[in-house]
């Protein structure tokens, strides 16, 4: 079974109770969408990429009531949640698809949002190229993702007990900004913050990581946690007031789609594309 199929199956399984545990994902979404105020074009069509149960999709529809808002997710079960948020006065569309190979027409969107979703794609270069492809010139891209300090306490505790569990290495703010520039996006603005959650014990922490799908990012998770008592002892160095903290470095990025003819770097050299309308507009009438 491919990694994509594993992700789809896992989110299908947790979809029914995902919202009960997704406080972090929802809070980050709220903070990311504050940045929509910097948009340069009033969006007529918005894509929410990796939309989950549609929390952000519904928020975008509330912010831009006249826009057509479409959520994309790999899990059909998660999209069931989006359909529940849809209604006569706030219609939302849901599409099942892969964030790394978008099933949308070129230059079909004025805004694309990806909240805590980009790290599920194993080919970030292709993914950012797809984001650029579907955005119209001056279209706005907003992303949030995990940075290197995410799960720091778990990483240090597990490494000290030599567990077989391996935590992911997330790219930093500069790497993500450079990837956006390489894909052809203009004027990327990046910033970050640390959000720390706390739990009464490791059991509650692990249950939430599983309920939100975050545990899928940790290699060896499904093989068990190793020596639980040793891990608890190692983690005690971080415990304060009987609470177990867990840090998440959140990186935010805002960038804009390029104008017609702006080159994009590829392994085969710079590639320049023009829309048919732009080419027609450049022709002189005799």
Report yes or no: 202 and 153 within 8 Å, Cβ to Cβ.
no
Average pLDDT over the chain reads 91
Tokens encoding 10: 């896992």
Q: What is the span of the domain harbouring residue 121? A: 3-148+169-195+250-273
**pLDDT tens profile 121-158:** 989 999 999 999 999 999 999 999 999 999 999 999 99
* 212-260 per-position pLDDT tens digit: 999 999 998 876 666 788 999 999 999 999 999 999 999 999 999 998 7
Question: Residue 131 domain-assigned?
Answer: yes
Q: Specify if 237 maps to a domain.
A: no
In a domain, 223, yes or no: no
Q: Sorting pLDDT into bands at 50, 70 and 90, what band is 286?
A: very low
Query: 218 in helix, strand or coil?
Result: coil
pTM of the model: 0.89
Residue 135, domain CATH:
3.40.50.150
Residue 157 lies in a domain: no
Nearest 5°: the CA angle 145, 147, 151 is 105
Decide: helix, strand or coil at residue 31.
helix
Structure-block tokens of residue 108: 């079909």
Query: Is 200 domain-assigned?
Result: no
Q: From residue 18, give the alpha-carbon distance in Å to each of 10, 77, 151.
A: 11, 11, 20
Which residue is associated with the tokens 């030599």?
162
Task: Give the model's confidence band at 40: pLDDT under 50 very low, under 70 low, under 90 confident, else very high.
Answer: confident
Domain membership of residue 261 (yes or no) is yes
Decide if 36 is inside a domain. yes
Backbone region of residue 226 per phi and psi (left: phi > 0; alpha: psi in -120 to 50; beta: other values): left
Please name every residue paired with 115 in a beta bridge, in sequence order, or none if there are none.
Answer: 144
Q: What is the dihedral of CA 57, 47, 97, 248, to 10 degrees?
A: -60
pLDDT > 50? residue 285: no
For the chain, the domain total comes to: 1
Contacts of 108 (CB under 8 A, 6+ apart): 45, 134, 136
Instruction: Please enumerate in sequence order all residues whose Cβ is within 8 A of that of 161, keeping only pairs 6 or more positions apart, or say none.
Output: 226, 227, 230, 231, 234
Q: Distance of CA 67 to CAs 64, 72, 87, 96, 176, Å?
A: 6, 16, 14, 20, 28
**Which residues, at least 6 apart from 19, have a Cβ–Cβ distance to it below 8 Å?**
26, 53, 55, 81
| Residues contacting 269, CB < 8 A, separation 6+ | none
Residue 224 lies in a domain: no
- DSSP category for residue 37: G
More confident residue, 2 or 8: 8
């Amino acid at each position: 079974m491919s990694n994509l199929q594993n992700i789809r199956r896992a989110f299908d399984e947790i979809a029914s109770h995902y919202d009960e545990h997704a406080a972090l994902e929802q809070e980050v979404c709220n903070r990311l969408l504050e940045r929509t105020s910097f948009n340069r074009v009033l969006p007529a069509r918005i894509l929410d990429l990796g939309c989950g149960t549609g929390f952000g999709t519904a928020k975008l529809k509330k912010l831009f009531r006249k826009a057509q808002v479409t959520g994309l997710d790999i899990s059909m079960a998660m999209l069931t949640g989006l359909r529940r948020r849809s209604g006569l006065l706030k219609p939302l569309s849901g599409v099942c698809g892969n964030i790394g190979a978008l099933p949308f027409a070129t230059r079909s969107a004025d805004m694309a949002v990806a909240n805590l979703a980009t790290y599920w794609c194993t080919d970030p270069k292709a993914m950012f190229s797809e984001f650029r492809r579907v955005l119209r010139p001056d279209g706005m891209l907003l992303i949030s993702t995990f940075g290197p300090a995410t799960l720091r306490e778990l990483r240090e505790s597990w490494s000290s007990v030599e567990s077989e569990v391996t935590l992911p290495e997330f790219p930093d703010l500069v790497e993500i900004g450079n990837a956006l520039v390489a894909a052809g996006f203009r004027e990327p603005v990046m910033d970050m913050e640390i959000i720390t959650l706390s739990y009464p014990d490791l059991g509650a922490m692990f249950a939430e990581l599983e309920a939100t799908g975050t545990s899928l990012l940790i290699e060896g998770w499904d093989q068990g946690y190793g020596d639980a008592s040793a891990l608890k002892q190692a983690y005690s160095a971080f415990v304060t007031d009987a609470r177990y903290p867990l840090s998440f470095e959140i990186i935010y990025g805002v960038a804009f789609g390029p104008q017609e003819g702006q080159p994009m770097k590829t392994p085969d050299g710079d590639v320049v594309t023009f829309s048919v309308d732009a080419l027609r507009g450049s022709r002189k009438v005799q």
